[in-house]
Amino acid sequence: MIPLTSQHLGANSAARPDWEDKYKKLEPLGVGGFAEVFKVRDLRTNEILALKVPNLADEEERRRFAREISTLQKLPHRNVIEIREAGYDWYAMPLAEGSLSSLAPELCDEERIEIITQAAQGLAAVHAVGLVHRDVTPSNILCVGGQWVVSDFGLVRKPEGLSSMPKTRGPLGTPGYRAPEVLVHGGHDVKHYADIYGLGQTIVFITTGRHPLTGGRPMVPGIWEELVVRMTAMAIAERFQSMDEVVAALSEVRTSLKARRRAEWPPRHLESENVTEALRQAELKVLAMIVQETSDGFREHEIRNSMPRRERGLFNIGFIGLKRRGFVENVYGDDDRHLGHRLTESAHDWLLSNAELLLGAMSSPKSDDDPPPPGDDDNIPF
C-alpha cells in the first residue's frame, strides 16, 4: 500500500501549490477525468515543459497519482514519458509536439509502423516490471522530440499481489480501447494482454480515422489486417502473448510494405544502377518543394503544414525516401538542440546533374495522369 502523508490527505490543501515557486503557468493543454495538464515555463531554466496536476477528489485518486509518479520515476525508457521533476501533487514532463490522435492524419504507413513499434517497445518495458498500463489509446501516445512515448499512467496496474486496497471496481479505460475481459471481469485483475488489445485498436483508429468498436472483425487496410486481427482477438489465447511478439510482427508488416512500394512504381524507376538517378516521384516532388522553400536549412514540419492535409502522407513518403538516400541531414545547434534539416552534398550533386527533372517537378501542375499516392494512406476520413 502506498503511504499517504498529511499533504496527500489534504491537511495543507489551502496552501499555495509548491510547483508555483518553480514554474509559471502559461496555458492549459488538456483536462481529463483525473487530472489537468498545463504548459509551463521553468522559472530556473526558462525551459517550456508540461505539468500534470491531479484532481485529488478522493483518497483513491490520490493513491493513483502517487502510484503514477512512483511508476514513472522507476521506469526510465526512451519510449515512456519522462518525469523531469515531481512533488506530492504534481509532476513536470517534456512538452509534446502532439498526440497520435492529433497527428494521425499526417502519417503515412511507414511512419505508422515506426510509431506503433516504439509504443510497443515502451509497453514491453512496462510489462517487464510486472505493470499494466490499462489505458492504451492514441491520445496517450505522444511525440516528444521526434520520439514516440507512452504517457498517462494514471490507471497503471501494479504487479499481481502488490496492488493496494480497495480493489478497482468495474471497467476502467477508454471505450473502444478496453479489452473484452475488462468489460466482463472489471479492471482489477487485468493482465498485459489488455494493453496489446488497446494498441491494436489504436492501429484501427490511425489507419481508418474511425473510432474502434469492441467485437467483430476490424476493417483496416489489407497490409494491417492480419496484425490487427491477432492483437484484437476476443479470446486472450488467440492474441499475441507479448509486446515482443507484436514488435516482430510489425517488422514483417514493414517488409511487406517495402515490397509493395517497389511494385507500385513504374519499372523505369528501378532500371538505373545508380539509385541517386532514379528518384521516385514523391521524392522528386518533395525535393522540389525544399529547393523552392530555401537554399539553406529548413524545417520539415513548416513545409508539410503548408500542404493540404490529405497530401501530407505523400510528402512524408518522399521525405523518408530522401533521408534514406542520404539527401537530407539533421542540423543541430551548439547546445545539441535539433534546429531542422538541410540538403547534403550528395543532394546538391544530383541537382546539378538533373536540373531539368527538378524544373519539371516545380512547373508541372498535377494532372489525372499523375500516379496516386502509394499505399492506403489516401481518403482517410479524419
Residue 29, H or E segment: strand 23-31
Give me the numbers of helices (H) and strands (E) for the chain, helices first please. Answer: 12, 10
Q: Which amino acid makes up residue 170? A: G
For the stretch 34-43, contacts whose Cβ atoms lie closer than 8 Å and that sit 24 or more positions apart, written own/partner, are: 34/61, 34/64, 34/65, 34/154, 35/65, 35/154, 39/95, 40/92, 42/92
Residue 329's nearest CA partner among 311, 348, 314, 313 is 348
Across-strand partners of 149? 142
Measured between alpha carbons, how far is 341 from 339 in angstroms, rounded to an integer? 7
Residue 289's nearest CA partner among 379, 370, 372, 363 is 363
Q: Which of 18, 58, 89, 135 is catalytic?
A: 135
Q: Can 18 be counted among the known catalytic residues? A: no
Measured between alpha carbons, how far is 163 from 158 in angstroms, rounded to an integer? 5
259 exposure class (CB count in 10 Å sphere: 0-12, 13-18, 19+)? exposed
Measured between alpha carbons, how far is 149 from 119 in angstroms, rounded to an integer? 6
User: Which residue's C-alpha cell is 480501447?
Assistant: 177
Is the separation of the CB atoms in 319 and 329 below 8 Å?
A: no
Number of neighbours of residue 3 by Cβ within 10 angstroms: 7
Is the separation of the CB atoms in 24 and 41 below 8 Å?
A: yes
Which residues are tagged catalytic? 135
